[in-house]
Amino acid sequence: MTDLTEFISRLPKCELHVHIEGTLEPELKFALAARNNVTLPYVDAAAMRASYAFHDLPSFLAVYYEGMSVLLTETDFYDLAWAYLNRAKEQNVRYAEIFFDPQAHTSRGVEFGTVLRGLRRAVLDARRLLDVRAQLIMCFMRDFSAEYAMATLMESLPYREWIIGVGLDSDERANPPDKFAAVFARARAEGYQLTMHCDLDQENSLDHIRQCLDVIGVDRIDHGVNCLESEELQDEIRRRGLGLTVCPISNGYVRGASWQDAVRNLLDAGLRVTVSSDDPAYMNGYVTENLLAVQAATPLTPAELVRLQRNAFEIAWLPDAVKDAYLAELDGYLAR
Ligand code: ADE
Ligand code: ZN
């Protein structure tokens, strides 16, 4: 291991963009399939992994949603989140904000409460047993209707204390942020933090980022890399102090080469960029591997690698005193 590789792997990390369903590794998928009597269309985990060949967002999402058929009981959701949180611990992730897609489950007949109780129990156990802190962000699927999103928001209210914010994910094509303006206004009124995906190089990417700012009033943006094409958008994002949760390996899968210097360019533009893993089980890389991929493409100094984690802790949805403790831990790490 080179010094810098070791520096990255031991760095105290904050992961703000990871879909819990995207952490479902093939081995766990097979174990859950056996437990639940679900038949999978592959002979084993290796064959399943070999089938993961995506060329854009829809081709990824098709495989991703199909893979969720094995998630049925509260224990399944607990096991899924517990497996991720253990991986996070191994990579020295100190704090994670984790997306979940309730509609990917309620649309298959799994109850909202089944999903939430399983995830919540894993979050509590991780805090107690692993010293890893996590919070949950509920994502609406933008290719479903705004009415279904609103109904899901209402369904979440009894669990309000277990969910820190709401997001928007899935297929962006023809599903702009303003389709969900009323849902996000109501979520804001209920006290949720707000974020939305603006995936790399989508149709109308710049307009979608603009809507996030002007129509929705988001607290941060997931991906948002295309703001590099607009000085005006960058000015506004900087003025508001908003963070961008960029997922370099995922961007490579969804779009190809253009992701490679995004993190470097966003850092140079003085934006609060962070690095996360998105769907690590499908894209072959957790947060450490994402940082290593950035490092391999566009070398970063140790101070810049710490800057990425500082940005993440600063924009995290945590009380200031808790953030300060993590920031002090980071400072201590750099000083050593
Ligand atoms: N759901 C899981 N990963 C996603 C991504 N990268 N973009 C949109 N929706 C997603
Ligand atoms: Zn994502």
Q: Is the CB of 21 under 6 A from ligand 1?
A: no
Q: Is the pTM of this model over 0.85?
A: yes
Q: Which atom of ligand 1 is nearest to the CA of 250?
A: 6
Q: Is residue 56 very low, low, confident or very high in pLDDT (cuts 50, 70, 90)?
A: confident
What is the chain's percent helix, strand, coil content, to nearest 5? 60, 15, 25
Ligand 1 atom having least distance to the Cα of 139: 1
Residue with tokens 């993440």: 312
> Is 256's pLDDT higher than 70?
no
**3 C-alpha vs ligand 1 centroid, how far in Å?**
33
Judged against a pLDDT cut of 70, whether residue 336 lies above it is answered with: yes
Supply the pLDDT for residue 257.
58
The whole-number average pLDDT for the span 135-140 is 99
Going from the C-alpha of 280 to that of each of 20, 24, 26, 97, 277, the distances in angstroms are: 9, 8, 11, 15, 6
Q: Average model confidence (pLDDT) for the chain?
A: 96
pLDDT at residue 240, rounded to an integer:
98
Asked if pLDDT for residue 125 goes beyond 70, the answer is yes
User: Which protein residue has the closest C-alpha to ligand 1 atom 6?
Assistant: 278
pLDDT value at position 220?
98
DSSP 8-class letter at 212? I
Question: CA angle at residue 175 from 174 to 178, to 5 degrees?
Answer: 120
Q: Is the pLDDT of residue 30 over 80?
A: yes
Report the alpha-carbon distance of residue 250 to residue 53 in Å, rounded. Answer: 12
Residue 81 banded pLDDT, cuts 50, 70, 90: very high
Distance CA 140, CA 184 (A): 10
Kindly state the tokens that stand for 129: 């047993």
pLDDT at 50: 93
- Which tens digits make up the pLDDT trace of 144-189? 999 999 999 999 999 999 999 999 999 999 999 999 999 999 999 9
pLDDT at 260: 77
CA distance 223 to 123: 25
Q: What is the pLDDT of residue 230?
A: 98
What number of other Cβ atoms are within 10 A of residue 277's Cβ? 31
Residue 69: CA atoms inside 13 Å, Cβ hemisphere, count?
Answer: 12
Structural domains of the chain, with CATH: 2-335 (3.20.20.140)
Q: What pLDDT score does 264 carry?
A: 96
**Ligand 1 touching residue 199 (CB < 6 A):** yes
Residue of the CA atom closest to atom 9 of ligand 1: 170
Q: What is the pLDDT of residues 182-237, one digit of tens each?
A: 999 999 999 999 999 999 999 999 999 999 999 999 999 999 999 999 999 999 99
Q: Ligand 1 in contact with 289 (CB < 6 A)?
A: no
198 CA → ligand 1 middle, Å: 10
The rounded percent of the chain whose pLDDT value lies above 70 is 99
Give the model's pLDDT for residue 258. Answer: 61
Give the E-state strand segments of the chain in sequence order.
Answer: 13-19, 93-100, 133-141, 163-169, 193-198, 220-223, 243-246, 272-275
pLDDT digits (tens, 9 = 90+) for 322-333: 999 999 999 999
C-beta atoms surrounding 249 within 10 Å: 24
- The finding on whether 22 has its CB within 6 A of some atom of ligand 1 is yes
Decide if pLDDT at 135 tops 80.
yes
Residues 172 and 144 sit within 8 Å (Cβ to Cβ): no
Pocket test for ligand 1, best of 199, 202, 290 (most atoms within 8 A of CB): 199
Helix (H, G, I), strand (E, B) or coil at 217: coil
Mean pLDDT of 247-264: 83
Closest-approaching ligand to the CA atom of 168: 1
The alpha carbons of the chain give a radius of gyration, in whole angstroms, of: 19
